[in-house]
């Protein structure tokens, strides 16, 4: 039963909405989810599309399209990132908002799910243009976001600086004595602007920890294991950083510009420095460039898709050599590819578990802002690890008890928590 209407037939975007609905319906069938609750969770609560003008550096005005989709808030305020990418549209925002609802529910956070962004290629704009675009988008969103209503965060191509602009713009629209009570309208802020220690590495750390937990669960270690990373942004870099510290070896990396390979290992910190100075990873010393379509077939033990959705599909799933896929991105594996991988015995650590450290880190930042507290990095990392381990254990338990794959188990836990909230509260009026 697919209740969310799918509008466009573009493979990348429509695929994501199809995938999340199929994942949801599959888990709902298994637990025989109450049909009324299924109707509610199968569709988004609110969808906002804004068109807004921005003055470019050359004096011309460009009109942009921004989105914010709020899927569900039964467990708390809407929560989820804003991405700046040409693939952002209403279906992509819907799919990603739904994944946020399952992610926050699975993590046991007092949040619902939302997602949004602007359809643009940020590499085509100057920093001052991006600042004006961000501020005008925030103004267009107005009071549809808010610290107790809907709390954006970074996602693809947005970062702490983007969040600082959003915070400053949002606060500026409030009366002076209310301004500082709005600090938690966004998370993922720079530390000097109300951000939290550890939020920067939280997503990559959760990808790493889930791999580590999985290794322990299967009686192996990460020492000398080879891994490949698709996407060398915040998530890909930090996951690689922690894996390398644990003795694993990064042998392949792909970004939007190309793919590099060295079977003897690629130094993570040097690649970060190279990426920062060159703007991409291509041409990094002691690596060979390989064709984009060959990336997922590289020889390795661990594969980390940490870029966009629908990257692992029927066209490359059978070529994957890794024995475990750790989903740093949201929705990187489509439903058919997942079936093929599971049949071959490849373990998939699903996005809503594997990358949930980001939103858990956001929750810690939000709590600190709300309570006027400042936690140390050690405190944040410890709390993060504890929460992530609880989620991992629960997913393994449900997966073994019900004899389902780990994604289905994660969905079951998330949906059952929401079901309980609806059953206990009933439907207004």
User: CB-wise, 170 or 284, nearer to ligand GLU?
Assistant: 170
- Closer residue to ligand GLU (CB): 78 or 274: 78
Q: Considering only 27-35, 126-134, 139-147, 354-362, which stretch makes contact with ligand GLU by CB under 6 A?
A: 354-362
Is the CB of 165 or the CB of 284 nearer to ligand GLU?
165
Among 13, 38, 71, 79, binds ligand GLU (CB under 6 A): 79
**Which of left, alpha, beta for 59 (phi over 0: left; psi -120 to 50: alpha)?**
left
Is residue 80 a contact residue for ligand GLU (CB under 6 A)? yes
Query: Of 43-51, 79-87, 176-184, 375-383, which segment contacts ligand GLU by CB under 6 A?
Result: 79-87
Alpha carbon distance 291, 361 (integer Å): 36
By C-beta, is 37 or 96 nearer to ligand GLU? Answer: 96
Q: Where are the alpha helices (DSSP H) in 218-334?
A: 234-245, 268-278
* Sign of the C-alpha dihedral computed for residues 198, 312, 351 and 152 taken in this order: positive
Active site (annotated) includes residue 124: no
Residue 94 binds ligand GLU, judged by CB under 6 A: no
How many binding residues for ligand GLU (CB under 6 A)?
A: 13
Q: Give the nearer residue to ligand GLU in terms of CB position, either 24 or 274.
A: 24
Task: Kindly identify the residues of this chain, within the stretch 298-337, that bind ligand GLU according to CB under 6 A.
Answer: 330
Q: What is the dihedral of CA 293, 298, 302, 307, to 10 degrees?
A: -20
Chosen residue from 89, 91, 131, 155 binding ligand GLU by CB under 6 A: 155
Q: Count other Cβ atoms within 10 Å, centred on residue 96.
A: 29
Q: Which residues 6+ apart lie within 8 Å of 138 measured at CB?
A: 145, 165, 166, 169, 170
Least distance from C-beta 261 to ligand GLU, angstroms?
28
Instruction: Please give the helix or strand (H or E) that residue 46 lies within, else none.
Output: strand 46-55
Cα 163 to Cα 194: distance, rounded to the nearest angstrom: 10
Give the alpha-carbon dihedral of 276, 280, 285, 286, to 10 degrees.
Answer: 130
Q: Is 358 a residue that touches ligand GLU (CB under 6 A)? A: yes
Q: Which stretch binds ligand GLU (CB under 6 A): 32-40, 263-271, 299-307, 357-365?
A: 357-365
> Taking CB under 6 A as the rule, does residue 87 contact ligand GLU?
no
Q: Is 153 in the site for ligand GLU (CB under 6 A)?
A: yes
Q: Is 157 in the site for ligand GLU (CB under 6 A)?
A: no
Compute the distance between CA of residue 419 and CA of residue 210 in angstroms, rounded to an integer.
26
Q: Which of residues 259 and 368 has its CB atom nearest to ligand GLU in the complex?
A: 368
Nearest to 275 by CA among 240, 300, 223, 224: 240
Please give the DSSP secondary-structure letter assigned to residue 70: E
Which of residues 134, 210, 362, 391 is near ligand GLU by CB under 6 A? 362
Spatial distance between the Cα atoms of 308 and 20, rounded to a whole number of angstroms: 14
Site membership for ligand GLU, residue 81 (CB under 6 A):
yes
Beta strands in 162-290 (DSSP E): 226-230, 249-255, 258-261, 288-290
Report the alpha-carbon distance of residue 32 to residue 291 in Å, rounded. Answer: 45
How near is the Cβ of 30 to ligand GLU at its closest, in Å? 25
Q: How far is the CB of 187 from ligand GLU (least distance, A)?
A: 5
Pick the stretch among 44-52, 213-221, 307-315, 352-360 that binds ligand GLU (CB under 6 A): 352-360
Catalytic-labelled residue, pool 115, 212, 226, 387 = 115
Q: Which residues are catalytic?
A: 115
The binding site for ligand GLU (CB under 6 A) comprises: 79-81, 103, 153, 155, 187-188, 330, 355, 358-359, 362
């Amino acid at each position: 039963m697919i209740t969310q209407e799918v509008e466009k037939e573009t493979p990348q975007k429509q695929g994501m909405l199809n995938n999340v609905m199929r994942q949801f319906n599959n888990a709902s069938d298994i637990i025989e989810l109450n049909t009324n609750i299924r109707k509610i969770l199968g569709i988004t609560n609110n969808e906002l599309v804004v068109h807004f003008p921005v003055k470019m550096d050359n004096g011309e005005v460009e009109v942009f399209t921004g989105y914010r989709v709020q899927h569900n808030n039964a467990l708390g305020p809407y929560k989820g990132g804003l991405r700046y990418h040409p693939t952002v549209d209403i279906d992509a925002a819907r799919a990603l908002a739904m994944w946020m609802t399952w992610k926050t529910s699975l993590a046991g956070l007092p949040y619902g799910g939302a997602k949004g962004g602007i359809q643009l290629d940020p590499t085509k704009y100057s920093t001052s243009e991006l600042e004006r675009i961000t501020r005008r988008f925030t103004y267009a969103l107005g009071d549809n976001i808010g610290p107790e209503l809907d709390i954006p965060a970074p996602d693809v191509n947005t970062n702490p600086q983007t969040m600082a602009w959003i915070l400053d713009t949002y606060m500026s629209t409030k009366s002076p004595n209310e301004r500082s009570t709005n600090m938690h309208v966004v998370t993922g802020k720079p530390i000097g602007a109300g951000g939290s220690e550890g939020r920067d590495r939280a997503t990559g750390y959760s990808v790493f920890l889930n791999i580590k937990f999985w290794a322990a669960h299967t009686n192996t270690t990460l020492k000398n294991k080879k891994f490949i990373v698709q996407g060398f942004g915040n998530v890909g870099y930090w996951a690689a950083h922690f894996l390398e510290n644990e003795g694993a070896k990064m042998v392949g990396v792909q970004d939007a510009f190309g793919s590099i390979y060295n079977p003897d290992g690629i130094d993570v910190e040097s690649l970060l420095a190279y990426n920062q100075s060159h703007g991409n990873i291509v041409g990094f010393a002691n690596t060979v460039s390989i064709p984009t379509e060959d990336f997922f077939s590289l020889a390795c033990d661990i594969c980390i898709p940490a870029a966009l959705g629908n990257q692992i599909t029927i066209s490359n799933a059978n070529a994957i050599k890794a024995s475990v896929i750790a989903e740093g991105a949201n929705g990187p594996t489509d439903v058919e590819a997942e079936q093929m991988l599971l049949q071959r015995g490849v373990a998939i650590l699903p996005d809503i578990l594997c990358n949930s450290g980001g939103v858990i880190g956001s929750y810690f930042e939000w709590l600190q802002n709300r309570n006027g507290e400042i936690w140390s990095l050690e405190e944040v990392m410890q709390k993060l690890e504890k929460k992530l381990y609880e989620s991992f254990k629960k997913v393994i338990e449900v997966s073994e008890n019900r004899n389902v794959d780990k994604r289905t188990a994660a969905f079951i836990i998330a949906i059952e928590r929401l079901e309980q909230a609806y059953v206990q509260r009933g439907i207004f009026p």
